[in-house]
Amino acid sequence: MFELLLHTIPVLFAVGSFWSNTERKLLLLNLGLCAALASLLAFEQAWGGVVVIMVAGLSTTYRVVTQKLLPAYATYIILALMTVLVASINTLTGKTGLLELMPVLTFMVYRFGELHCKEAGLRICMIIGSVNFTVYGVATQTWGLAITEALFAISNAWYYVKLRRQIAALSI
Protein backbone atom coordinates (compact mmCIF):
# COMPACT_ATOMS: atom_id res chain seq x y z
CA MET A 1 0.00 0.00 0.00
CA PHE A 2 2.84 2.37 0.89
CA GLU A 3 4.48 1.74 -2.49
CA LEU A 4 1.24 2.51 -4.28
CA LEU A 5 1.00 5.78 -2.37
CA LEU A 6 4.58 6.70 -3.33
CA HIS A 7 3.75 6.11 -6.99
CA THR A 8 0.44 8.00 -6.78
CA ILE A 9 1.58 11.26 -5.15
CA PRO A 10 3.89 12.32 -8.01
CA VAL A 11 1.12 11.53 -10.49
CA LEU A 12 -1.20 13.84 -8.54
CA PHE A 13 1.41 16.61 -8.80
CA ALA A 14 1.63 15.94 -12.53
CA VAL A 15 -2.12 16.22 -12.90
CA GLY A 16 -1.89 19.48 -10.94
CA SER A 17 0.61 20.75 -13.50
CA PHE A 18 -2.27 21.24 -15.92
CA TRP A 19 -3.27 24.20 -13.71
CA SER A 20 0.26 25.67 -13.51
CA ASN A 21 -0.52 28.55 -15.81
CA THR A 22 2.13 30.87 -14.35
CA GLU A 23 5.85 30.53 -13.90
CA ARG A 24 5.53 30.75 -10.10
CA LYS A 25 2.90 28.00 -9.97
CA LEU A 26 5.12 25.87 -12.18
CA LEU A 27 8.10 26.34 -9.87
CA LEU A 28 6.09 25.61 -6.71
CA LEU A 29 4.60 22.53 -8.31
CA ASN A 30 8.07 21.41 -9.36
CA LEU A 31 9.29 21.82 -5.78
CA GLY A 32 6.51 19.56 -4.47
CA LEU A 33 7.20 17.14 -7.28
CA CYS A 34 10.88 17.03 -6.29
CA ALA A 35 9.96 15.97 -2.75
CA ALA A 36 7.54 13.32 -3.97
CA LEU A 37 9.91 11.90 -6.57
CA ALA A 38 12.87 11.83 -4.17
CA SER A 39 10.77 9.71 -1.80
CA LEU A 40 9.67 7.39 -4.59
CA LEU A 41 13.17 6.97 -6.00
CA ALA A 42 14.61 6.32 -2.51
CA PHE A 43 12.03 3.59 -2.02
CA GLU A 44 13.00 2.13 -5.41
CA GLN A 45 16.69 2.49 -4.43
CA ALA A 46 17.44 4.51 -7.57
CA TRP A 47 20.09 6.54 -5.74
CA GLY A 48 21.33 8.53 -8.73
CA GLY A 49 17.80 9.77 -9.24
CA VAL A 50 17.43 10.58 -5.52
CA VAL A 51 20.56 12.74 -5.50
CA VAL A 52 19.52 14.51 -8.69
CA ILE A 53 16.04 15.25 -7.36
CA MET A 54 17.30 16.49 -3.99
CA VAL A 55 19.78 18.88 -5.57
CA ALA A 56 17.06 19.89 -8.02
CA GLY A 57 14.83 20.79 -5.12
CA LEU A 58 17.53 23.12 -3.82
CA SER A 59 17.82 24.98 -7.12
CA THR A 60 14.03 25.19 -7.41
CA THR A 61 13.91 26.59 -3.89
CA TYR A 62 16.49 29.22 -4.85
CA ARG A 63 14.40 30.34 -7.82
CA VAL A 64 11.14 30.38 -5.82
CA VAL A 65 12.66 32.32 -2.92
CA THR A 66 14.74 34.87 -4.86
CA GLN A 67 12.56 35.11 -7.97
CA LYS A 68 15.71 36.03 -9.89
CA LEU A 69 17.47 34.60 -12.92
CA LEU A 70 21.20 34.07 -12.82
CA PRO A 71 23.53 35.53 -15.44
CA ALA A 72 24.86 33.02 -17.97
CA TYR A 73 28.32 32.65 -16.42
CA ALA A 74 26.87 31.99 -12.94
CA THR A 75 24.38 29.50 -14.35
CA TYR A 76 27.13 27.53 -16.09
CA ILE A 77 29.37 27.53 -13.02
CA ILE A 78 26.60 26.37 -10.69
CA LEU A 79 25.37 23.84 -13.23
CA ALA A 80 28.90 22.43 -13.61
CA LEU A 81 29.38 22.23 -9.82
CA MET A 82 26.03 20.52 -9.29
CA THR A 83 26.67 18.10 -12.12
CA VAL A 84 30.10 17.21 -10.72
CA LEU A 85 28.46 16.58 -7.34
CA VAL A 86 25.88 14.24 -8.84
CA ALA A 87 28.47 12.49 -11.03
CA SER A 88 30.76 12.05 -8.01
CA ILE A 89 28.01 10.43 -5.99
CA ASN A 90 27.16 8.18 -8.94
CA THR A 91 30.84 7.19 -9.17
CA LEU A 92 31.06 6.49 -5.42
CA THR A 93 27.99 4.27 -5.59
CA GLY A 94 29.26 2.51 -8.73
CA LYS A 95 26.35 3.74 -10.82
CA THR A 96 28.13 5.06 -13.89
CA GLY A 97 26.26 3.40 -16.74
CA LEU A 98 24.18 5.12 -19.38
CA LEU A 99 21.02 4.54 -17.36
CA GLU A 100 22.46 6.43 -14.39
CA LEU A 101 23.50 9.31 -16.65
CA MET A 102 19.90 9.93 -17.73
CA PRO A 103 18.92 11.62 -14.42
CA VAL A 104 22.05 13.79 -14.69
CA LEU A 105 21.03 14.92 -18.19
CA THR A 106 17.51 15.66 -16.97
CA PHE A 107 18.99 17.51 -14.04
CA MET A 108 21.17 19.68 -16.26
CA VAL A 109 18.30 20.69 -18.56
CA TYR A 110 15.89 21.43 -15.70
CA ARG A 111 18.45 23.43 -13.73
CA PHE A 112 19.44 25.50 -16.74
CA GLY A 113 15.79 26.36 -17.31
CA GLU A 114 15.18 27.24 -13.67
CA LEU A 115 18.29 29.28 -13.13
CA HIS A 116 18.60 31.11 -16.44
CA CYS A 117 15.34 31.10 -18.44
CA LYS A 118 12.10 33.01 -18.31
CA GLU A 119 8.82 31.13 -18.59
CA ALA A 120 8.99 30.04 -22.25
CA GLY A 121 12.55 28.79 -21.95
CA LEU A 122 11.81 27.16 -18.62
CA ARG A 123 8.90 25.26 -20.14
CA ILE A 124 11.04 24.08 -23.09
CA CYS A 125 13.71 22.86 -20.68
CA MET A 126 11.08 21.07 -18.61
CA ILE A 127 9.62 19.40 -21.69
CA ILE A 128 13.04 18.09 -22.74
CA GLY A 129 13.91 17.02 -19.20
CA SER A 130 10.54 15.37 -18.63
CA VAL A 131 10.74 13.33 -21.82
CA ASN A 132 14.22 12.13 -20.82
CA PHE A 133 13.09 11.32 -17.27
CA THR A 134 10.04 9.48 -18.64
CA VAL A 135 12.40 7.19 -20.53
CA TYR A 136 14.44 6.73 -17.32
CA GLY A 137 11.28 5.85 -15.38
CA VAL A 138 10.31 3.25 -17.98
CA ALA A 139 13.84 1.82 -18.06
CA THR A 140 13.97 1.49 -14.25
CA GLN A 141 10.32 0.37 -14.13
CA THR A 142 9.51 3.26 -11.81
CA TRP A 143 6.02 3.67 -13.19
CA GLY A 144 4.94 6.54 -10.97
CA LEU A 145 7.94 8.52 -12.20
CA ALA A 146 7.30 7.60 -15.83
CA ILE A 147 3.62 8.58 -15.72
CA THR A 148 4.39 11.75 -13.76
CA GLU A 149 7.07 12.96 -16.12
CA ALA A 150 5.01 12.13 -19.21
CA LEU A 151 2.09 14.18 -17.84
CA PHE A 152 4.48 16.97 -16.86
CA ALA A 153 5.88 17.05 -20.42
CA ILE A 154 2.38 17.23 -21.88
CA SER A 155 1.22 20.01 -19.54
CA ASN A 156 4.35 22.08 -20.17
CA ALA A 157 3.96 21.59 -23.92
CA TRP A 158 0.34 22.76 -23.63
CA TYR A 159 1.29 25.93 -21.75
CA TYR A 160 4.26 26.57 -24.03
CA VAL A 161 1.96 26.48 -27.08
CA LYS A 162 -0.50 28.82 -25.33
CA LEU A 163 2.35 31.18 -24.42
CA ARG A 164 3.64 31.23 -28.02
CA ARG A 165 0.13 31.97 -29.30
CA GLN A 166 -0.20 34.88 -26.86
CA ILE A 167 3.13 36.28 -27.98
CA ALA A 168 2.17 35.85 -31.65
CA ALA A 169 -1.17 37.60 -31.05
CA LEU A 170 0.61 40.55 -29.40
CA SER A 171 3.04 40.96 -32.28
CA ILE A 172 0.34 41.18 -34.94
pLDDT digits (tens, 9 = 90+) for 95-120: 777 887 887 788 889 889 989 999 99
What letter would DSSP give residue 22?
S
DSSP H or E segment with residue 77: helix 72-92
Question: Global pTM?
Answer: 0.83
**Which pLDDT belongs to residue 156?**
94
**Which pLDDT belongs to residue 53?**
78
**Which pLDDT belongs to residue 50?**
81
pLDDT band at residue 162 under the 50/70/90 scheme: very high
**Mean pLDDT, rounded, of the chain:** 86
109/127 Cα distance (integer angstroms): 9
CB atoms within 10 A of CB 153: 21
The mean per-residue pLDDT over the stretch 146-172 comes to 91
Percent of the chain whose pLDDT exceeds 90: 30
36: amino acid identity, one letter:
A
Mean pLDDT check: name the lowest of 31-35, 42-46, 61-65, 121-125. Answer: 42-46
Of 1, 27, 32, give the one whose Cα is nearest residue 148. Answer: 32
Task: Tell me: pLDDT of 70 over 80.
Answer: yes
Task: Tell me: pLDDT of 151 over 90.
Answer: yes
Task: Tell me: pLDDT of 129 over 90.
Answer: yes
CB atoms within 10 A of CB 10: 29
Contacts 24+ apart (CB under 8 A), 87-90: 89/47, 89/48, 89/51, 90/48, 90/51
**Which pLDDT belongs to residue 86?**
75
